[in-house]
Amino acid sequence: SEKKRAPPKIKPPKEPVAAGVKFEQEKQKPLFDLPISGEVPPLDLLDAPPSDLEQRGYSADELESLSRLLELKLKDFNVVAEVVAVYPGPVVTRFEIQPAAGVKVSRISNLAKDLARSLAVISVRVVEVIPGKSVVGIEIPNADRQTVNFKDVLASTTFEESKSPLTVALGHDIAGSPVVADLGKMPHVLVAGTTGSGKSVGVNCMLVSLLYKATPADARLILVDPKMLELSVYDGIPHLLTPVITDMKDAANGLRWCVAEMERRYKLMSLLGVRNLQGYNRKVTDAEKQGSPILDPMWSPDPVLELTGEDQEHPTLEKLPSIVVVIDEFADMMMIVGKKVEQLIARIAQKARAAGIHLVLATQRPSVDVITGLIKANIPSRIAFAVSSKVDSRTILDQGGADQLLGYGDMLYLPAGSSVPVRVHGAFCSDDEVHRVVADWKRRGDPLYIEGLLDEGGQTPVTANEIQSATSGDEDPESDALYDEAVDYVCRSRRASISSVQRKLRIGYNRAARLIETMEAAGVVTEMGSNGQREVLAPAPPEH
């Protein structure tokens, strides 16, 4: 007779994570309305989890029978494996299986849909590699999923003990432990998922957790919201550098200001001999403590005031806050302003990390026409919500898995420098909670907007010549030394193509394109037709 198999180890659900000191202190309610105290809002503003929440899930017997059923179903497909451990969680239960010798992991991965059908569940996710273990994980959704409470995550010691002011709360992992991330280390993050997968709620949770961690002296925000609904609730908080941007033309100017600020910060840091924003702020605060603040090395006296003989005080350096740029529907912005924004985003993604500027880009599907390879390569952290196909999952994470998520905030978080994504059940933050936190910050202070941040051409030109000429109308486009020669060639040859002008005048593509666009504006040639051709409208010059 076959010897009795040992039952799988069923790990009990983790104990709730200990609440932080702040949460314990706030339990003592004041008798009267006191004036605002503390640097950040109290946790009371958030909804507490329902007290009658029972730990619904599978019992130990059900988990053991499910383990045996899973082994049998795998055996039906000629895969011999043994369930060695079971981890019940709030949303999914992970079964760790030990495949027999010679069984490839890819065979188990390919059976995900068949297993879901035979176990009668919505979807099954196969975790091919679990760091530090030789087993394969199979995640099966619970019959009743629990909602992850946002206050639980913010009240945890994990969030409170994180030193960085740019700490954002994501939710709970499959075992029910809080998951937080540091935007400073990310340093930019791409959030993607189909409509209704919980993307906007995830971005809201990130922003509210920032408001619980950072004062306006630590972090300032630029919010771009093409939908006009999601982020406009944050209008008026003291963290904002400019009112929430809903017009996409202004978004390009806001990003241009970011690039100019990045260049200014780099220049300042190189003059001080520091490598990043933390080093700069440390040097400035140390100098202030010693009573000898550092004078601004980039300041130059006003020549007009010099003529009048007025004394000008040399300004000293102050601490610089981090800047977080959040763009809610990136694809929509690309459709409206396109190339102009693409190069600005690429420059920020490439260089802005040390200057303390961080990007959060949310989009539905980051395909090549929306996010180019250059931008994607410089945004190492990814968050994927539920998508419809494996191809979409690969577009976001460069691997499958997001197509097997359950929706409603279920996400895969791929940190920078890691190839194994972490499954996180996103916390739910209601509109009322957001409004209460925003109202509290509005009572604490008025926003200090930067004048002229969105003005066209109000900043020094810091982008490539193409962007500058395409966006600023100051220069006369016909001042190009080769313009007359180019017009003469086009009128004679009756060919208005960029490549022909490029070859004839031996110039670069950008300059030739600019010359053709200038001719179009002057009425020398027509707009590009559906076949990509232009007609020459100007008459041919007379033959001598």
Nearest to 425 by CA among 139, 229, 75: 139
pTM metric for this prediction: 0.77
pLDDT (tens digit, 9 = 90+) per residue, 349-397?
A: 999 989 999 999 999 888 887 888 888 888 999 999 999 888 888 889 9
Is pLDDT above 50 for 442?
yes
**CA distance linking residue 193 with residue 395, whole number of Å:** 11
**CA distance linking residue 276 with residue 352, whole number of Å:** 10
Q: 111-120, 462-471, 481-490: which has the minimum mean pLDDT?
A: 462-471
pLDDT (tens digit, 9 = 90+) per residue, 133-172?
A: 899 999 999 888 888 899 999 999 999 999 999 999 999 9
Is pLDDT above 70 for 56?
no
Edge-to-edge strand list for the sheet holding 178-182: 178-182, 167-173, 422-426, 410-414, 381-384, 189-192, 357-363, 322-327, 219-224
Is pLDDT above 50 for 1?
no
Which residues, other chains included, contact 484 with Cβ-Cβ below 8 Å and sequence gap of 6+?
Answer: none
Measured CA angle at 79 (ends 76, 83), to 5 deg:
100
pLDDT (tens digit, 9 = 90+) per residue, 477-529?
A: 567 788 888 998 999 898 888 888 988 888 888 888 889 989 888 888 888 87
What is the reported pLDDT for 4? 56
Q: Which domains does the chain have, with CATH numbers?
A: 172-273+322-444 (3.40.50.300), 476-544 (1.10.10.10)
pLDDT (tens digit, 9 = 90+) per residue, 391-419?
A: 888 889 988 889 889 888 999 999 988 88
**CA distance linking residue 216 with residue 101, whole number of Å:** 57
Q: 110-114, 439-443, 540-544: which has the minimum mean pLDDT?
A: 540-544
Mean pLDDT of 311-328: 89
Question: What's the whole-number average pLDDT of the chain?
Answer: 84
Is pLDDT above 80 for 36?
no
pLDDT (tens digit, 9 = 90+) per residue, 258-299?
A: 999 999 999 999 999 999 999 999 999 999 999 888 888 888
